[in-house]
Structure formats: C-alpha cells, structure tokens
Amino acid sequence: MRRRGLYISLVLVAGICVAAWVGPGRGSVAGPTPYKVAYPAYFGNRVNLREDNPLTEEGVRLGRFLFYDKRLSRNGAVSCASCHQQALAFTDGRRFSVGFDSVLTRRSSMSLANLLWVRHFFWDGRALGLEAQAMVPLTEAHEMGQRMDSLVPKLTRTGFYGPLFAAAFGSPEVTQDGIVRALAQFERTLVSADAPYDRYIRDEYTMTPAEMRGLKLFFGRAVCGNCHGGPKTFDETYHNNGLDKGNFRDSGRFDVTGLDYDRGRFRVVTLRNIALTAPYMHDGRFKTLEEVVDHYSDHIEPSETLSPTLKDLANAPARMGLTKGEKGDIVAFLRTLTDTGFVRDKRFSDPFVGQQARRGEALAGPR
Amino acid sequence: MKKILGLLAAVVICCSATAQGGAAYSVKVSGEVVTPLTLTAADIIAMPRTNATAKDRHGEMHSFSGVAIADILNKAGVTTGKQLKGENLAKYLLVTCADNYKVVFSLAELDSSFTDRVVVLADQMEGKPLPAGMGPFRLIVPGEKKPARNCMQVVGIAVKFAKD
C-alpha cells in the first residue's frame, strides 16, 4: 500500500515537471499546433512519421495549398492534384499521366491513401520517404519540370506563401526544404478508413451475401490477401504478378536494386478505393476490376521472377479458374473498399476554390 | 529431369546476371554489431558449414546447408553466449528479404546457450546452389509448424534493440 502511495506521488511529481517544462514554452512562443492524424486501431501503429518533420496544422495547411498550386510546375499547367485528383482517390483515370509539356509519364499515377504506413514510394520503391518522393515529380523533366532554384523565387514573388511558411516553419522564407516537408505533411494526413469494409469491421455494416462471399474468397482460396492482407489491404512487398512472360518492358524494382531477381517486381499497393482508381497496374493495362480479377484467375504468365504466391505446387503459374460468379463476388467485395467520405473530405480538397470565390482573382495572380 | 532443369535455370540466371550486368547478391549484417558485414556467396561458402532439413510445399523433406546464423552474429560481433543477458535480451534480429518481406527473431532464439535449435542461412539444397526464386540465400528454421520464417532471398540481417 505504502509503495503504491509512493508510486502515485512520484507520477504526480513527474506530471507537474512536464507541465512546468512545457508550460512557459507554449505560452511565450506561439509555435505551430501539432496535427493529430486519426486512424483506427486495426491499422496498427507502424506509421512512418519523421521526427524532423512533425505534423502540424500549419504545415499541413501549407502543404495542401502547395499540392493544389499549378505554379509548382514550370509553365503553370499542372499541380500535384492534376495527376492525383481527390474524386478518383488521388489518381487521374489515365494509363499514363500528362506532364506539363504534354509528354506522358512512364507509369500510371498512384493513389494517395494511407501513405502514413508506407516507407518505399513509387511503383519501384525508389524513394525512401514522402519528402524524397515529392522532389521527383516536381523536378522530373516531363512531369512538373520545375527547377527548384527557380521555384523558390517564383513562390516568394507571389507574396502568398510567406505568411504560410512563417506559420508552419517559423520563417516567411520560402525554401525547397519547406516545400517538400509541407507536401509530405499534407500527404500523411490522407487517411482512408471509412469504407463499408471498415464499417463491417466495426460491426456497423452488414455485407451483402455477394460481398461476403467475395471477402471469403479474397482472404481465402483466391489468395489475394497474401499480399493485400490486413485491413489496410497492402503489404509493403514487391512481387512480379505475372503480367508478362519475361523480357519485361518495365523492369520495375530491378531499376533500383540492379538485382536480377527483382526484374518485373513492383510494389504491392493498397486496394483502398480501388473501384475509383482505374485503370490498373503500373502501366494501367487493365480498364476494369473484372479484367484484373480475370488476370489473377486465368492469365498469370510464367517468368523466372514470378511471385511464389502465384505459382501452383508444380511451380507453374497458378490457374485458379474462378467461376464467373466467384469473380463477380470478389469485385463486389473490392467495391466495399470505396470510402466516399475520403474522396469528398473538405480537409483534402482544393483550398484555392473557396479562396477564389471569396477574393476573386486577388489571390496573387493566376495559379 | 526437373532437378536438371532447375539447375540449368540456376546456371542460366547466374550467367545472365553477369552477362547483363546484374549486381552481385549479398547479405548485409547491420545494426547493433561491432563489425557491419556484407557477405557475398564466396564469403558464406568459406564459413563453417551447418546442415538443416525442411519440408517443401509437397511435404517432401530436403537437406539444406549453409552457415549458422549464430556464426554470422559472432563474426559481426553481436552480444551472444555469455554476453546475452541483461539489456541484451531485449535485442532482436530483423531479417529482410528481397521482396521486403520481414521476419523477427529474439537473439535468445538463435543462441546455443538458450536452445539446441540451429537456424541456418542456407545457400545450398541437396548439395547444389538454391534454385531460382529461393536463393541465393534463404533461412531454414528447423522444427517450426509454419514455414513462414523459412524466408527466401535474404538480403539483410539487422540486430536491433527493442527500445520501449
């Protein structure tokens, strides 16, 4: 008993110490406000937050403006949101995206949902962290084509960003580092966790019989869940999913590692909102979910690096031979991953829209 | 016939790796080590050999050979044996495979002062290089009901502290 009393008083002292230490700092310097990302416990806490870029309300706000600002491209033609449109779960509905100069990208635009749990970015995982990722499309010759040393003065001249940078990072100076940090902060807040499937997990939604049969197939006999398992529906692994018979037009992960067994391997992506993110695969070769399920059921191609998950016991490409009904059930389940709240969430939408309505074109020129 | 084909495939892959300039496979040993290592096939074949067996997907038993993980840890200067006590018991091994699959062991699970089980980093099956898709390096964890930690194409072994 006495021991417990001592323990409690120690905790109290510790609590007071923390309060005393935090108190004056917060009172005297109005720093940015920490941003708390809400997500369900069943997503787990293996989040990829960076100590040197903590999420703050002000940083996320700045990042949101930058994400939707076409001035970030060389000629003002495209913003991040051009290829990552909220209504399409931050994809663009095309096989390949159109850069500022109308040249097409090499791979299909990726959905931006639940990136907080991702460590390796792009289809080949070449960027370690969202900060490093953001630099690539910004500066890529045929994406936004923007030299960072000219972007900084360009954004400084707008006069619009100084106060936003000051609020987020303590100085009105527009910096390259601040741009990518803020973009990364905004992207980390894009959590999609309120699809019918989530409500099913939370016991708030009853799956239809077809959706339920699809769920059982997905996590069972059709082995989709081997790579797209768990409530987040992805495992951050690389697989060759049997799209081609060797001689890959796109070597995928091999381009990053130079190791032969990585030829034709691509990162397993989330299936959240998958009904909104057509076309599918790194090269957007499949127009519909039905085509995707057909591929996994009947058309896996052999190659030396084909994922073991997609081979049968004789090491040949698996032929699941799902019936038409079973394929339909899986597609029905995939549609329960559509989070309509996520694609309409005002926190993720174009912040310039309201501003322009209120202020006309006074917003520091065209963007 | 299948074995011969498998061997041929392995040879073809090895040759194509050099022909097309594919990088050399290796296993990086990092983290809470005195000496970080990058072990190539030549380094591993030169270390003391250990055997282990494991069932394949058909339930058929196969013999593997390679290097005891414990030997690799000793070579890298990890706190094994008499040093494996106190806070060192809060250390774990994070094994990463080429496809980014990861499995964990506590150091005690791999230490001969705790267990007789020898976990092996295998580079040969039935006396031949591991077949494509499995190798060049994989783990064999004897006596486990599920083969999930017998992971393939190992690229990294990191010793870490559980810091909580």
Please calculate the CA angle A265-A185-A25 and round it to the nearest 5 degrees: 145
Partner-chain contact A258 B23, CB within 8 Å: yes
**Residue A47: both structure tokens together:** 């989040």
Angle subtended at Cα A32 by Cα A28 and Cα A35, rounded to the nearest 5 degrees: 135
Per-residue pLDDT, B20? 52
User: How much is the pLDDT for A29?
Assistant: 58
pLDDT at residue A356, as a whole number: 62
In this prediction, the residues of chain B whose per-residue pLDDT falls under 50 are 1-19
Side-chain half-sphere exposure of A224, counting CA atoms within 13 A: 25
- Sequence letter at residue A342: F
**B115/chain A closest Cα distance in angstroms:** 31
Test A261 with B16 for CB contact under 8 angstroms.
no
Q: In whole angstroms, what is the distance from residue B26 CA to residue B155 CA?
A: 6
pLDDT for A346: 96
Query: Are A112 and A131 in contact, with CB atoms under 8 Å apart?
Result: no
- Farthest-apart Cα atoms in chain A, separation: 75
Chain A residues closer than 8 Å to B58 by CB: 313
Residue B137 contacts residue B61 (beta carbons within 8 Å): no
CA distance A265 to A49: 26
- Measured distance CA(B78)–CA(B70) in Å, rounded: 9
Cα–Cα distance measured from residue A329 to residue A324, given in angstroms and rounded to the nearest whole number: 9
- pLDDT value, residue B21: 60
Q: Are A154 and A75 in contact (CB under 8 A)?
A: no
Tell whether A239 lies on the interface with B, counting CB pairs under 8 A.
Answer: yes
Helix (H) or strand (E) holding A191: none
Mutate which of A51, A260, A312 to disrupt the B interface (most B C-beta within 10 Å)? A260
Closest to A74 (Cα-Cα) out of A138, A132, A136, A133: A138
Rounded distance, CA A351 to CA A4, Å? 53
Report the alpha-carbon distance of residue B12 to residue A6 in Å, rounded.
71
Going across the sheet that includes B102-106, the strands are B37-40, B26-31, B154-161, B91-97, B102-106
Question: What was the pLDDT predicted at B88?
Answer: 96
The residues facing B30 across adjacent strands are: B158
Distance (Å, rounded) from C-alpha A331 to C-alpha A293? 8
The answer to whether residue B163 neighbours chain A at the CB level (below 8 Å) is no
Largest distance between two CA atoms of chain B: 53
Q: Report the phi/psi class of residue B114: left, alpha or beta, with left for phi > 0 and alpha for psi in -120 to 50.
A: alpha
Closest residue on chain A to B132 (Cα): A304
CA gap B121, B70 in Å, rounded: 10
DSSP secondary structure code for residue A277 in this structure: S
Q: CA of B49, closest CA in chain A: separation in Å?
A: 25
3-state DSSP call for residue B149? Answer: helix
Write down how long chain A is: 367
A161-169 vs A148-158: helix crossing angle, rounded to 10: 110
Helices A324-335 and A289-298, packing angle to 10 deg? 130
CA distance A68 to A44: 30
DSSP state of A269: -
> Do residue A304 and residue B17 have CB atoms under 8 angstroms apart?
no
Interhelix angle A57-67/A351-359, rounded to 10 degrees, is 80
Of B16, B57, B58, the CB nearest to A260: B16
Indicate whether this complex's ipTM tops 0.85.
no
Asked if the bond preceding B136 is cis, omega within 30° of 0, the reply is: yes
Q: Answer for the pair B145, B128: CB distance below 8 angstroms, yes or no.
A: no
Q: How many CA atoms does the CB half-sphere of B35 hold within 13 Å? A: 9
State the pLDDT at residue A140: 85
Instruction: Decide if A141 contacts A147 (C-beta within 8 A).
Output: no
Q: Distance between CA B93 and CA B68 in Å, rounded?
A: 14
Which residues in chain B touch residue A237, judged by CB atoms under 8 angstroms apart?
A: 99-101
CB-based contact, A308 to chain B, within 8 Å:
yes
One DSSP character per residue, A75-88 reads TS---HHHHSBGGG
Q: What is the pLDDT along chain A (367 residues), one digit of tens a residue?
A: 344 444 433 333 333 333 333 333 344 457 899 999 999 999 999 999 999 999 999 999 999 999 999 999 988 999 999 999 999 999 999 999 988 888 899 999 999 999 999 999 999 999 999 999 998 888 888 889 888 889 999 999 999 999 999 999 999 999 999 999 999 999 999 999 999 999 999 999 999 999 999 999 999 999 999 999 899 999 899 999 999 998 899 999 999 999 999 999 999 999 999 999 999 999 999 999 999 999 999 999 999 999 988 998 778 899 999 999 999 999 999 999 999 999 999 999 999 987 765 554 444 444 4
